[in-house]
Amino acid sequence: MRIKNPVIRPAQATDASALAACIDAAYAQYAERISDMPSVSDGCADDIANNQVWVAVQGEEVIAGLVLITGDGFMKLANLAVHPDHGGKGLGRKLIELSECEAKRQGFCEIRLNTHVDMPENVRLYQHLGWTEMARSGNTVSMNKRLAND
């Protein structure tokens, strides 16, 4: 059976529990090494209702999610998660590109995110994609990317 490419679409209220399960699966690999990791899937229904949320769906399964929040003069990439069964196929990069495109489309020239100091692979990925580390405070690494006006 041929596997189809996932469809990326705005999340619907009915996606909340599947998105939470996907996020939990994506972050499970970090749970052992990060003792102070907050719950990363709480509030999915609220995020879908109040923020900009996309899901990547393959068949009926939510395999990735993206949460964007508008800030004061910037867009914040609040959460990005790819189910580990679907990692390494460029889906995370596609969602990062979507976040940057959405920020630009909505008139923002900067996008920001926070990640955990004990997720150095994430820091390296974002740096590879043109993000800059702005600050470290406690266990938080704050990063941003200036978006070119096309």
Would you place residue 1 in the very low, low, confident or very high pLDDT band (cuts 50, 70, 90)?
very low
Residues 32-82 pLDDT 10s? 788 777 788 889 999 999 999 999 999 889 999 999 999 999 999 999 999
pLDDT of residue 3: 52
Measured CA to CA, the distance from residue 56 to residue 88 in angstroms comes to 14
pTM of the model: 0.92
Residues in the chain: 150
Q: Assess whether pLDDT exceeds 70 at residue 2.
A: no
Structural domains of the chain, with CATH: 7-146 (3.40.630.30)
Measured CA to CA, the distance from residue 8 to residue 22 in angstroms comes to 14
Distances (CA, A) of 135 to 6, 37, 56, 121, 132: 35, 19, 31, 17, 9
Q: Assess whether pLDDT exceeds 80 at residue 23.
A: yes
